[in-house]
């Protein structure tokens, strides 16, 4: 039965300080699971648990959670937010997507536009793309000199350490799909009228740079995987297993916060509601 199976999240955690090759990570991996139904029941339970833990986090007001999602185009960031993060109460959760910087944002350091969206105590922030675009798309398309983006790895590590020291738990997920899976998802967008709007011809340029992006991501994992801000390379070809891995990592991280509801107001036992 599905209930007897478990996700080994550690197998997807990037080792700190080690050079990895994305070709060693199977985007079709499904762990111990053979049926979608098994995983979906566990995802459903995880989403319910996420809702409970978020309420506890909000009530305690001592912790915060930042979730970073990165992937190639059609990698499933939006879908993951919809199916996994749907357990979060919108009143205590902020989802932000980082696109091309505005003129004002370009006039500041690259982290200036990021910091205001980090979570306050008791809250959750979800980044759909993130500050890592400044060592990914910026690097691949040579938008700044190499010496500029090279320095950003250390800037990012210091920035994330600042958040961690402030009480923010950071979880970073790379949704790992194959180039063939991306092709099929693009074709689905072309074929279906309800998905035509999601197709962007500019994505084909990025697809042609696949190898450059893989090397850029590998450098990110080597340079910016830290004990305080881990990266997880999540198998992304099977959406149901992707959702299970991401939701399981989130639940375990939130449970590890060891949160407690604050004490009731003094004298509450004597209160009488007329």
Greatest Cα-to-Cα distance within the chain, rounded to the nearest angstrom: 70
Q: Which helix (H) or strand (E) holds 70?
A: strand 64-71
User: Which DSSP state fits 129?
Assistant: S
Which pLDDT score, from 0 to 100, does residue 5 have? 74
* Confidence (pLDDT) at 187: 94
Task: Give pLDDT, residue 270.
Answer: 82
Q: In what order do the strands lie in the sheet with 124-128?
A: 93-97, 124-128, 64-71, 168-176, 231-235
Separation CA 213–CA 218 (nearest Å): 8
Q: Name the residue ranges covered by the structural domains of the chain.
A: 10-22+34-257
- Coil, strand or helix: which one is 226? strand
C-beta of residue 39 within 8 angstroms of C-beta of residue 244: yes
Low-confidence ranges of the chain (pLDDT < 70): 1-4
* Fold type of domain 10-22+34-257: Rossmann fold (3.40.50)
Q: What is the pLDDT of residue 2?
A: 38
The model's pTM: 0.94
Q: What is the pLDDT of residues 206-260, one digit of tens each?
A: 999 999 999 999 999 999 999 999 999 999 999 999 999 999 999 999 999 999 9
- To the nearest whole number, what is the mean pLDDT of the chain? 94
How much is the pLDDT for 1? Answer: 36
What are the CA-CA distances from residue 141 to residues 8, 149, 208 (Å)? 36, 11, 12
pLDDT at 3: 46
């Amino acid at each position: 039965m599905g209930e007897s199976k478990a996700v080994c999240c550690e197998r997807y955690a990037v080792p700190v300080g080690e050079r990895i090759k994305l070709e060693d990570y199977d985007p079709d991996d499904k762990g111990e699971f053979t049926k979608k139904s098994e995983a979906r029941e566990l995802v459903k339970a995880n989403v319910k648990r996420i809702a409970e833990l978020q309420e506890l986090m909000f009530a305690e007001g001592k912790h915060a959670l930042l979730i970073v999602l990165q992937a190639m185009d059609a990698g499933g960031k939006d879908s993951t937010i919809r199916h996994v993060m749907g357990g979060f109460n919108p009143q205590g959760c902020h989802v932000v997507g980082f696109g091309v910087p505005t003129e004002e944002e370009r006039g500041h350091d690259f982290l200036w536009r990021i910091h205001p969206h980090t979570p306050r105590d008791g809250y959750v922030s979800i980044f759909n793309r993130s500050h890592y675009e400044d060592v990914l798309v910026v690097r691949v398309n040579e938008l700044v000199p190499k010496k500029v983006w090279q320095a950003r790895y250390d800037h990012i590590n210091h920035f994330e350490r600042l958040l961690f020291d402030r009480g923010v738990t950071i979880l970073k997920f790379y949704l790992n799909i194959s180039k063939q899976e991306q092709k099929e998802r693009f074709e689905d967008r072309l074929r279906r009228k309800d998905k035509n709007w999601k197709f962007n011809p500019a994505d084909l340029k990025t697809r042609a740079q696949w190898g450059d992006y893989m090397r850029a991501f590998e450098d990110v994992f080597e340079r910016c995987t830290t004990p305080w801000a881990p990266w997880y390379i999540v198998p992304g070809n099977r959406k149901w297993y992707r959702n299970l891995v991401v939701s399981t990592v989130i639940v375990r991280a939130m449970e590890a916060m060891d949160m407690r509801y604050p004490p009731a107001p003094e004298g509450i036992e004597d209160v009488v509601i007329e």
